[in-house]
Structure 1
Amino acid sequence: MALVIHAGKTNKNSFKALIAAEYNGVEVKLIPDFEMGVSNKTPEFIKMNPIGKVPVLETPDGPIFESNAIARYVARLKADSPLFGSSSIDYGHIEQWIDFASLEIDSNILTWYRPRIGRAAYLPPVEEAAIAALKRALGALNTHLASNTYLVGYFVTLADIIMTCNLLLGFTKLMTRSFTSEFPHVERYFWTLVNQPNFKKILGEVKQAESVPPVQSAKKPDESAKQKHKDEVKKEPKKEAEKEKPKAVVGEGEDEAPKPKPKNPLDLLPPSKMILDEWKRLYSNTKTNFREVAIKGFWDMYDPEGYSLWFCNYKYDDENTVSFVTLNKVGGFLQRMDLARKYAFGKMLVIGSEPPFKVKGLWLFRGQEIPKFVLDECYDMELYEWRKVDISDEAQKERVNQMIEDHEPFEGEALLDAKCFK
């Protein structure tokens, strides 16, 4: 009986055993036409792994589940396999790095990734903790690789195979070049290994993520079933008599003509003398004499009847103990505010020379209130305290000026960074 892995073609956990098989000259095949959510729910599969997870390896002596166990089994099929090193201490170090790859790398990458694709609830503090823990782990790995080509010894071992497969998800889905550049030895290590012939045969061409996926809401358990039912209804064959349908008449259910997309309430407001795009261009194009040109231009354009200004303060500044996590938090907020780009301008300041860092913002919104669709759709809004600016108060007006121009020091403290939404 040949060795067969039950998993999808893109399952990074099955890659561990497949790459080990290439190094050992062992034949291991992926089962054809495996469909996640279907194939792993059959009685035959459940008999091999009672909890229905992949991958599972079928062997002549029975099934094996858990990807690291499968990889170890395949690695041991060749007597004196170099994948386990050449001494007892090598073997101990290989096992050490396998555990590290699973507990410190893979676990934190998954905690970061799963909520972003809708497979878990998105909780900012949880993501921040996972990213911080991942950075800590990558820092330790980077230090080790500064003086080592491979994790153990002078050639590829099972530790390298498992570490690389666990890093794969991070490099291809989450960790952009700006993220990994802090760990140059990890970068060198990863790209060296994925381009080794035995790796490349299984992984193919690997490309680094260009951006972090936006957060998606976790799907309700029955949503896919409902959608499937709707699709089946839509696919029902039309009767011959329906080939020449009369024009749709309002009130005929599914034949009703599609309704026009409702206008955004902000588009229905009376015209404003302030043209937002003109202000954004002035802000972007002013390189010198910012106070005299951009700030003066802002107040000349500002329409207090058509627009409103708002200060915001992050509610949980005591949690901002890691600079890059705080900056990523603000960057994510601005990314999710993209839905309001037509109606808003914003400045976000990260303040302080040491943690905990303060996050404060200034926002210009169309209308007299914060737009309801922004409050409803951008969950970050509830993480901030919002206060409407009273432009008759000269102190508040000066604070607006300082936030627009990134004045430093701001309220007596250094600026770590300033980000603009325009």
Structure 2
Amino acid sequence: MALILHAASTNKNTYKALIAAEYNGVQVQLAPNFEMGVSNKTPEFLKLNPLGKVPVLETPDGPVFESNAIARYVARLKGDSSLLGSSLIDQAHVDQWIDFSSLEIDANILKVLLPRVGFAPYLAPVEEAANAALKRALGALNTHLASSTYLVGHTVTLADIITTLNLYLGFTKVLVKSFTSEFPHVERYFWTLVNQPNFRKVLGQVKQTEAIIPIPSAKKPVKETKPKAKEQPKKEAKPEPEKPAELAEEEAPKPKAKNPLDLLPPSKLILDEWKRLYSNTKTNFREVAIKGFWDMYDPEGYSLWFCDYKYQDENTVSFVTLNKVGGFLQRMDLARKYAFGKMLVIGSQPPFKVKGLWLFRGQEIPQFVIDECYDMELYEWTKVDLSDEAQKERVNQMIEDYEPFEGEPLLDAKCFK
């Protein structure tokens, strides 16, 4: 018997088991034609979970309900899986972070969300307390992630899967950028995880909400009027409250507005041609690629920018620093049509320095990049002054991975193209 997961396909609790299954290579099938509010009320479903709650996993040995228990079951199906930790203390820490994110993060996000979608009365003091508790929890998580890429050890565990999905409901529904920007390590962690291939396969592309759901307006009392003779009073249909976000089906995507950069005058610099030249030049890089770049460069249609990480003293662990840069480049994918970049990790000893060079279409850093890629705020950005020969030479050295760079060896050099 295959493993059958009974739940709505857009329920974030459903995703826990599906992502764990992707990491373990386990086949989990969603129950066909599942309809929330109908399928989970049938006698057959109530035999699986007498409370009628979802998700429920149907296994050859009987049903399992409660989403964290289901995810643990799937994680244990592969004997050599590292999802649950490789030592007793790691296993305890995995459980610790699962409980922490469920009780301190998920519970408080729901206290904010459910009243705003009509599934609980809205009380301002309750929301205020939930936001305060959520900030305390995110602050603690932010401190832990300052020196760690993952919650436990050096690979993804079930703690990361469940914590990320508890954050997912917040990031996509109620936690706007102005709220989450107080916790840069949590932001970096969240966007790194949701863009991992196994997460992306289940979640698709994740986008942070731009606005919190408004507070439901109070209903005005309706004046009663006597019905006319021989006329039956009409019963007004009560509007059904919106489904909770974690159960709602996604709306059809709206057509995207044209990017303002596509409306700029044509440029002599064809970005794809420069990227091909960069990629195909294997020898005489200065004479071929660098010279070719300046021959192509259009100062009216493009601009060059240096970036320096604001918190270099935090870069004390090499792999964490490299993952930080890799995550940034991954999240910059939205700008691939309009940008080229080089990111250098500099130094042989910590703290490592992270510095970069970016070529952007237009005279300013594109606003949509600033709005949608949170990492931009973690760097100081300086427009290159091409009348300064020293700055121009610095551009050359960053493009060609010149070493030593500013007197130090390169730990790594990454290219965005």
Aligned to 1:136: 136
Aligned to 2:211: 211
Partner Cα separation in structure 1 for residue 36 and residue 216 of structure 2: 20
Q: Larger radius of gyration, structure 1 or 2?
A: 1
1:186-265 residue pairs with structure 2 within 5 A?
A: 186-216=186-216
Q: Per the alignment, in what secondary structure is the counterpart of residue 144 of structure 2?
A: helix
Aligned to 2:181: 181
Structure 2 counterpart of 1:82, one-letter code: S
Structure 1 counterpart of 2:189, one-letter code: Y
Per the TM alignment, residue 252 of structure 1 is displaced from its structure 2 partner at its CA by 11
Offset from partner CA, 1:216-266 (integer Å, 9 cap, x none): 2699xxxxxxxxxxxxxxxxxxxxxxxxxxxxxx99989xxxxxxxxxxxx
Aligned to 1:165: 165
Offset from partner CA, 1:288-345 (integer Å, 9 cap, x none): xxxxxxxxxxxxxxxxxxxxxxxxxxxxxxxxxxxxxxxxxxxxxxxxxxxxxxxxxx
Partner Cα separation in structure 1 for residue 117 and residue 200 of structure 2: 26
Q: 1:39 to 1:252 in 2, by over 3 A?
A: same
Partner Cα separation in structure 2 for residue 217 and residue 74 of structure 1: 43
Structure 2 counterpart of 1:98, one-letter code: I
Offset from partner CA, 1:386-410 (integer Å, 9 cap, x none): xxxxxxxxxxxxxxxxxxxxxxxxx
The answer to whether residue 105 in structure 2 is matched with residue 105 in structure 1 is yes
Q: Per the alignment, in what secondary structure is the counterpart of residue 58 of structure 1?
A: strand
Partner Cα separation in structure 2 for residue 49 and residue 217 of structure 1: 36
Partner Cα separation in structure 2 for residue 74 and residue 142 of structure 1: 28
Q: Does the CA-based 8 Å contact 1:139-1:183 persist in structure 2?
A: yes
1:65-76 residue pairs with structure 2 within 5 A?
A: 65-76=65-76
TM-score (normalised: structure 1): 0.52
Q: 1:252 to 1:194 in 2, by over 3 A?
A: farther
The answer to whether residue 123 in structure 2 is matched with residue 123 in structure 1 is yes
Q: Per the alignment, in what secondary structure is the counterpart of residue 22 of structure 2?
A: helix
Structure 2 counterpart of 1:30, one-letter code: L
Partner Cα separation in structure 2 for residue 251 and residue 97 of structure 1: 66
Per the TM alignment, residue 80 of structure 1 is displaced from its structure 2 partner at its CA by 2.1
Structure 2 counterpart of 1:203, one-letter code: L
Offset from partner CA, 1:374-396 (integer Å, 9 cap, x none): xxxxxxxxxxxxxxxxxxxxxxx
Q: Does the CA-based 8 Å contact 1:84-1:94 persist in structure 2?
A: yes
Structure 1 counterpart of 2:146, one-letter code: A
Q: Does the CA-based 8 Å contact 1:121-1:217 persist in structure 2?
A: no
Q: Does the CA-based 8 Å contact 1:120-1:218 persist in structure 2?
A: no
1:303-314 residue pairs with structure 2 within 5 A?
A: none
Q: Does the CA-based 8 Å contact 1:57-1:64 persist in structure 2?
A: yes
Aligned to 1:94: 94
Partner Cα separation in structure 1 for residue 203 and residue 97 of structure 2: 21
Aligned to 1:15: 15
Offset from partner CA, 1:71-96 (integer Å, 9 cap, x none): 00000000021101111110010000
Partner Cα separation in structure 2 for residue 146 and residue 251 of structure 1: 74
Aligned to 1:269: none
Q: 1:253 to 1:196 in 2, by over 3 A?
A: farther
Partner Cα separation in structure 1 for residue 16 and residue 231 of structure 2: 53
Aligned to 1:151: 151
Question: Alpha carbon RMSD of aligned pairs, Å?
Answer: 2.0
TM-score (normalised: structure 2): 0.52
Q: Per the alignment, in what secondary structure is the counterpart of residue 83 of structure 1?
A: coil
Partner Cα separation in structure 1 for residue 154 and residue 183 of structure 2: 21
Aligned to 1:397: none
- The structure richer in helix per residue is 1
Partner Cα separation in structure 2 for residue 34 and residue 134 of structure 1: 33
Q: Does the CA-based 8 Å contact 1:121-1:218 persist in structure 2?
A: no
The answer to whether residue 57 in structure 2 is matched with residue 64 in structure 1 is no
Partner Cα separation in structure 2 for residue 107 and residue 138 of structure 1: 13
Offset from partner CA, 1:116-170 (integer Å, 9 cap, x none): 0000011110000000000000000000000000000000000000000110000
Structure 1 counterpart of 2:145, one-letter code: L
Gaps of 5+ in 2: 220-227, 233-417
Partner Cα separation in structure 2 for residue 10 and residue 158 of structure 1: 20
Partner Cα separation in structure 1 for residue 81 and residue 152 of structure 2: 14
Aligned to 2:83: 83
Q: Per the alignment, in what secondary structure is the counterpart of residue 119 of structure 1?
A: coil
The runs of 4+ residues in structure 1 deviating greater than 6 Å are: 250-254
How many pairs does the alignment contain?
225
Q: Per the alignment, in what secondary structure is the counterpart of residue 82 of structure 1?
A: coil
Q: Per the alignment, in what secondary structure is the counterpart of residue 83 of structure 2?
A: helix
Offset from partner CA, 1:43-75 (integer Å, 9 cap, x none): 111111011100000000010000000000000
Structure 2 counterpart of 1:147, one-letter code: S
> % of aligned pairs identical?
75
